[in-house]
């Protein structure tokens, strides 16, 4: 366990954004509840979801979620009471129910089923979709227009396949069984471009596996209908003051730019 004493529109609406979208309306006001009587604020997370949570070279738990938890505690002025505990993903919900912690911060997708049992903060990060192209497949710098002149690769049966067909009706596609097959085909030039999760594509295109073969093209695409509400903090329903306090802190971090600073620290190439 690590102590943290230190530091949407219509469902189908298409948005193109280059920077981290603001998580809140900057004119909004969310009061900060009195947490002086709270004995502890423990964040529950995992260790195997880089760059959100991972063990660094010194053996310390690090990542976007860890730094965000520290900043939340700073804004709420309860750093001495803050802790973070890592466990397996499967243990998170039972641990929250058993009061082993107060907040789950681990990229859990918000669903109607979960909302019946837990409360959620406002989303603090949305995970968009993007196009990526094989550089050799195009004589000049590819654009969305040139990409769409050829079949676009997608993983069959996924939300990204459905989203592509909804956003670009009639677009020819080439389906693949899984993400590994999709990216292998893109690298080898068997398909000129793909449409998939922006986070995964951003790290793959800049990583050693891609070997410089491919590049992201155009801006990001957001859709709550297909991609969900985004990453939120999960709490117990019997603690509404804590949920409000988390929203207050996230609003403050969004308004002051600190949320964007943490984002750029772990996503320097950007996912938007």
Three-class HEC string of 167-183 = HCCCCCEEEECCHHHHH
- How far from 85 is each of 18, 42, 204, CA to CA, in Å? 33, 7, 29
Domain co-membership, 99 together with 171: no
**Residue keyed to tokens 């750093």:** 79
Domain co-membership, 88 together with 13: yes
Domain co-membership, 43 together with 122: yes
CB 258 within 8 A of CB 72: no
Domain count within the chain: 2
38 exposed, middle or buried (CB, 10 Å; 0-12, 13-18, 19+)? Answer: middle
What is the per-residue pLDDT for 272? 86
Residue 114: inside a domain: yes
Domain co-membership, 197 together with 249: no
Domain co-membership, 141 together with 29: no
Tell me whether strands 103-104 and 41-45 are parallel, antiparallel or unpaired: parallel
Residue 272: inside a domain: no
Please tell me whether residue 190 adopts helix, strand or coil conformation.
coil
Q: Is the pTM of this model over 0.85?
A: no
* Residue 183 domain boundaries: 129-221
Domain co-membership, 149 together with 20: no
How far is C-alpha 53 from the chain's CA centre? 12
What is the per-residue pLDDT for 15? 36
Q: What are residue 104's DSSP bridge partners?
A: 44, 234
Distance CA(224)–CA(38), nearest Å, equals 34
What is the per-residue pLDDT for 191? 98
Q: Number of H helices and number of E strands within the chain?
A: 10, 13
How far is C-alpha 217 from the chain's CA centre? 19
Domain co-membership, 111 together with 244: yes
- How far from 61 is each of 2, 4, 56, 122, 152, CA to CA, in Å? 8, 11, 6, 25, 38
Distance CA(1)–CA(66), nearest Å, equals 12
Domain co-membership, 153 together with 107: no
Domain co-membership, 239 together with 122: yes
Residue 140 token pair: 């000049």
Distance CA(254)–CA(22), nearest Å, equals 6
What is the per-residue pLDDT for 19? 62
Domain co-membership, 163 together with 106: no
Distance CA(109)–CA(64), nearest Å, equals 17
Q: What is the pLDDT along the chain (272 residues), one digit of tens a residue?
A: 555 544 333 333 333 334 677 667 778 899 999 999 999 999 999 998 889 999 999 999 999 999 999 999 999 999 999 999 999 999 999 999 999 999 999 988 888 999 999 999 999 998 899 999 999 999 999 999 999 999 999 999 999 999 999 999 999 999 999 999 999 999 999 999 999 999 999 999 999 999 999 999 998 999 999 998 889 999 999 999 999 999 999 999 999 999 999 999 998 877 88
What is the per-residue pLDDT for 4? 56
**φ and ψ at 115, to 5 degrees?**
-65, -25
Residue 271: inside a domain: no
Domain co-membership, 27 together with 116: yes
CATH number (domain holding residue 120): 3.40.190.10
Domain co-membership, 135 together with 120: no
CB 234 within 8 A of CB 242: no
């Amino acid at each position: 366990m690590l102590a943290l004493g230190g530091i949407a529109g219509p469902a189908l609406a298409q948005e193109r954004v280059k920077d981290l979208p603001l998580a809140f309306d900057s004119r909004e006001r969310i009061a900060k509840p009195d947490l002086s009587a709270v004995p502890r604020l423990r964040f529950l997370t995992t260790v195997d979801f880089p760059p959100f949570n991972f063990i660094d070279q010194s053996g310390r738990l690090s990542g976007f979620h860890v730094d965000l938890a520290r900043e939340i505690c700073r804004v709420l002025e309860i750093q001495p009471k803050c802790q973070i505990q890592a466990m397996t993903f499967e243990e998170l919900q039972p641990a929250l129910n058993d009061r082993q912690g107060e907040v789950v911060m681990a990229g859990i997708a918000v669903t109607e089923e979960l909302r019946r049992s837990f409360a959620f903060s406002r989303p603090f990060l949305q995970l968009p979709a993007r196009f990526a192209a094989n550089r050799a497949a195009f004589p000049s710098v590819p654009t969305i227009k040139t990409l769409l002149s050829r079949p676009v690769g997608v993983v069959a049966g996924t939300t990204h396949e459905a989203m592509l067909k909804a956003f670009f009706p009639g677009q020819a596609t080439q389906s693949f069984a899984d993400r590994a097959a999709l990216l292998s085909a893109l690298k080898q030039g068997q398909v000129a471009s793909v449409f998939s999760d922006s986070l995964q594509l951003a790290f793959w295109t800049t990583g050693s596996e891609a070997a410089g073969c491919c590049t992201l093209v155009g801006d990001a695409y957001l859709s709550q209908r297909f991609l969900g509400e985004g990453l939120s903090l999960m709490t117990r329903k019997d603690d509404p003051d804590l949920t409000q306090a988390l929203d207050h802190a996230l609003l403050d971090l969004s308004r002051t730019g600190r949320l964007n600073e943490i984002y750029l620290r772990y996503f320097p190439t950007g996912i938007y």
